[in-house]
Every structure is written in C-alpha cells, then in structure tokens.
Structure 1
C-alpha cells in the first residue's frame, strides 16, 4: 500500500465521539451573505439583518445560483442547522424565523435553477421505464473509466474530498423520507436504509467505510472537515439533496433522487475500486466501493420498483416529482463532474484550497 503523509487525526480509528467532531466546522466566508450569516450564527445575533441582506442580494439579481460560491455556502450552512449542526452555533437557531425566511427567499430561485423534467409519466409502469432510462443516460465526462485507468493518487484524494460532505452522512437525508411514507414504500425504504447503516453494525455503516477510505488515502475523516476545499459546483448537489429532504412537499423528488443514486453507483464503484488497486491500495481503501458494487445492484431494483413504482401507482401526482428528482440528481452529478474534469484536463486542482 502506498505510504501517504496524513494528519494525525487520519491515522486512528474513526469513532467520532466528540460532539464538535460530529458537527460541521465553521467555514471561511465566501462573500457578503455567508459572512453575514456566519457572524449572525456564531455571535448569536438577531437574524433580521441577514434576512434583509438576502432579500436585497438574491431576489433582484438574477445571478447564477448553482455556481455562486457565496450563495451555495450560505445555503449549505442554513441546511446544516437541521442536520448535524455547526460548531459553536446554538441549536435553537435551527428554528430562527428570520433564518428560515431568508432560506425560503434563496430556495425559490434555487428551485427554478434546478430545472424541471418533462414529460410526466402517464402510469406507474411509464414512471419505472423513465427512471431506468434516466439511470442509463450518461452525458458527463468519463470519470469512472479515467479513475480506473489513469487517475493519480492525488486525483483520487481530490475526488474523495469532493464526495466526503455527502458520504460521511450517507443515507441521513434520504432517511428523512421514512416518516413521510406509509405501507409498502415505507417498508422498502427502511430495508434499503438499514443496509446503508450497516444493519446496525458500526463498522459496516457506509459512512464509516467511507471514513476508512479517507484515512487510507491520508485524508482527515472528520465530518465536513473539507468544507473550505470544495467549490460551489459540489455544494450545489449537496444542497439539492438537502432541499428535497427537508421539505415534505418534495418527497417525490427525494425518492427520485435516491433512485438515480442507487442506479448509477454500482458500475462506477467497481471502477473506483479497480483504480485504487492499480495504485497499490489494499482492501481498507476499496471496501466502501466494493460494498456498493454488490449492495446497489440489489437496491436499484427495490427503490425503482417497490418504492418509486409503488408510490407512483398509489399517488399519481407524485410521478412528476419522482422523475424530476432523478433528473436533478443526474444534472448535479454532471455539473460537479464537469468542473473536476475541466480542472484536471487543464492541469489544475479541482479544489479551492490545496490538501
């Protein structure tokens, strides 16, 4: 196995027993909005000034939200209040009315920027066919083949950092769909998510396996440790998932998003594991990807047919959202991959800061 120089934190077991280590660290601001939000939260100030700043900045501007570093970091922080929390920020800020109002002001144009998916399937079977078609679509750069055959160790480290903000909380946001479902679809989502959480075994939780991969690559595996490194193109996909997961009226989009994740994970995971073995890494580095080759081949059938298909049959109004969620997931994955690919093809790092 290659010898990598790693932070001292990355050399030991990933137990995450510290409350601070379980939270997102306070990042550096990327503009006036994220600076105002960070100051408001960390100094426990009234949120009215931040709400007014958002109204003045977002609504009239027509700016490109998906590529805007300041806005995407701001949205990430606002969502994190409902998830793991942020170091030094009181938990009661989760339900701060000014922060919620400001988030809603950002979400309206963000929702528009995520796009729509047409046409709406006319039946549950049409919905299932549409999801399979979405899973087979591949408009992005050939990332998985590149990682298998050509990528360097440093490029693997970058890719793993890009994915770390989501993978170190793997399954958590999709699990928010469980209390919003009932009957067969609920049982199916529980079955799939139980696998994601290792069937109750800490050492088999997929988030813990990802942390193991990070340590093998000499990376710090603390939750959101690399928030300052990842660009808006990565945060946009993270925020799309959080948006779907935290809104009950976006439940179909959340399920559609999960469908695409499960449909498009097995083959790339096989390629990533192959690439790591090519570079001399052992099973400690590849186990996360090896696990997804087998698990997601089973999960894709369950989520497409027994979850999304059953939901579409019981609730025809959910069909548009199911297809849209899958389309948005694919669109955001391509958006992030294109940034990484173009950076590497130009001989540059895809991260904002060096590792």
Structure 2
C-alpha cells in the first residue's frame, strides 16, 4: 500500500502555499493521514491564502496530487478544516450579494448587454495585447481544465425533467461522447495553439485569488446537496452569459492573428451556449422550482454569487492592465508562440 501511494502520479504537484492556512494544508498532504488534528487558521475570505487552501482541498475530489495519499480525500480532520474554510467563504459570498428571491429580475439582468461595453472581452477585442490574451488564458485554465466537472455533482440531486435537461447540457460540455470535442480538451488545444502549456493546472501557482475563487464556488456548490439550487443558478448564469463574450473573444483572436485552435474553443460556445441558455432557464430551473419552490432564493444566490466573482476577476484584470502591470502573481511560464 505505502509503495503504491508513494508512486501515485496525477501529473499535478501540490501548489505553493500563500499563507499559514494553505501552509497547513500542503504540509498535511505531504504526509499520510494519521488522525492528527489540523487546526483552522483564520484567513481573508477573498484572499490568496484561503483561495489556494480551498482549491487544494477540493482538488482531492478531482484528480488529486502526485505523491498525495488518496485516503486524504475523506480524512475526517481534513474535512473538518475544509468545513471551517467553506463557512468563511460562503458567509462572505452571502453577505456580499443582494439576495432575495426575484428570479426573473436576476435572469433578465444577465441578458442585458451594456453599450458601449467595458468588460474583459470588450477590452481584448478592441485593443488588448497578445500578452494580455495569454494572461487571460492562464487565469481561465484553472476553470476550463475542469469545465463541467463540478456541475456533474448536482445530477443525482435533481429529479425528472430538471435532471434530464441538465444532463443534456452536460453531454454537450463533455463533447457529445467524443473525447476530442470535450470542452476541457478544446481548452487544452487553445493553450497549445497559443504556445502555452496544456498540462492540467500548470498555471495554478501563477493565478491569483479572483480566478481561483470562481472555481472554489463551483466546487462548493457542487459538493453540497443543500446548495443544489445555487449550483443550478450558477450554471444558468454561466450558460446565459457565455455566448456574447465568446463571440467577442473570437473577434479578438482574429484581430491578433491567433492560431485557429485558440478561436475554436470560443466559436464552439457561441452556438452551443445560446441553446443551453434556453434549456437551463426553462427546463432545468423551471422544472426544479416546480418541484422545489423553496429553492428559488438559492437559485438567485447562485446567479448573484457568480456575477459577483466574475466582476471581481474582471476588475482585477482590467485594473492591472490599465496600470501597465501583469495580472498574474508570477511571470507567465509559457513559450511565446509565433503570434507573440
């Protein structure tokens, strides 16, 4: 058993700690589960330390880390620590959004396209540089390497039409049964086309908290049955807002003369997510709330939390670029392609 664990190779190394909480997490995972108490260390809900600590803990439910004993996934002490961290993160999310149960207003707000737009995709389309585009790719890699995986956890928690409709959307996300068309694979192709590393989570140490927090939210919602409504709200928000931004990203890549593999990821989403929007809104959310009307406020919360964290990432990117600075924590570890 011990030799098998020592030889376990997921292809992903433990990330570098960013504070006392993540130091405890990484130190624990470097050993073997022995029942020892792992004390929680208070951390900023939106800070680097809590973000990477939670991401590391959640990764145990995905592919794990090289040399880390798989038994850590369900270690009671590590789960207790994760519960503390989740409580801090979730409480801040709830306090930072408006809340309420006006679902129609929350959904309608997602459909509003401000003119002129001033978001990240607008910036990259109109005057973003290739370096900024590659930084954006690195930020999004910690999400798109997983793509629809966190959403899959909600499937056994839904029933009837809501379940069937969500599975239909997931089927498309996973390539319709074709491995080469899985959206996570298309993102890896995008990275290769940009001359960047396509290795799973290669840029995790480079990416700051705002991008990591989005994936932590997805994992949090997906792993907790009590947050199934929030996960559905998040998924709907992602599908509704993707098609317009994907169109702008495709235009940006054309302007920059990028490898066609870069644009393919976005062009795939333009048509698919326009269809997914209607499925999520009418079949998934509609059916879910027919069955469980008490989840309406949770769906609204999922939408609002998604918009909150996406806005925080956008603010970070645009403020960094406006100041002439990198939006990443470290110099990007990629080989400049012919597009550079």
Q: TM-score, normalised by structure 1?
A: 0.87
- Partner residue, 1:120: 101
- Partner residue, 1:88: 67
Corresponding residue to 1:27 among 6, 12, 15? 15
Cα RMSD over matched residues? 1.8
Pairing of 1:171-320 with structure 2 (within 5 A)? 171-320=148-297
CA distance in 2, matches of 1:132, 1:84: 36
**Secondary structure in 2 aligned to 1:265?**
helix
Cα displacement string for residues 201-227 of structure 1 (whole angstroms, at most 9, x for unaligned residues): 111111111111101111101111111
Cα displacement string for residues 124-154 of structure 1 (whole angstroms, at most 9, x for unaligned residues): xxx3453232443779952111111111111
CA distance in 2, matches of 1:108, 1:234: 19
Cα displacement string for residues 145-187 of structure 1 (whole angstroms, at most 9, x for unaligned residues): 1111111111110001000011011100011111111100000
Corresponding residue to 1:65 among 45, 55, 66? 45
CA distance in 1, matches of 2:112, 2:78: 39
Shift of residue 23 of structure 1?
5.1
CA distance in 1, matches of 2:88, 2:177: 39
Shift of residue 34 of structure 1?
1.2
Q: Tell me, which stretches of 5 or more residues in structure 2 are unaligned?
A: 1-7, 333-340
Shift of residue 298 of structure 1?
0.4
Q: TM-score, normalised by structure 2?
A: 0.90
Cα displacement string for residues 314-340 of structure 1 (whole angstroms, at most 9, x for unaligned residues): 211110100100110110001111111
CA distance in 1, matches of 2:227, 2:267: 31
Q: Tell me, which stretches of 5 or more residues in structure 1 are unaligned?
A: 1-18, 122-126
- Partner residue, 2:335: none
Pairing of 1:116-195 with structure 2 (within 5 A)? 116-121=97-102, 127-136=103-112, 141-195=118-172
CA distance in 2, matches of 1:256, 1:138: 22
**Which fold has the larger relative contact order, with Cα–Cα distance below 8 Å and residues 6 or more apart in sequence?**
1
Shift of residue 256 of structure 1?
0.2
Shift of residue 248 of structure 1?
0.7
Q: Does 2:299 correspond to 1:322?
A: yes
**Secondary structure in 2 aligned to 1:264?**
helix
Q: Does 2:95 correspond to 1:107?
A: no
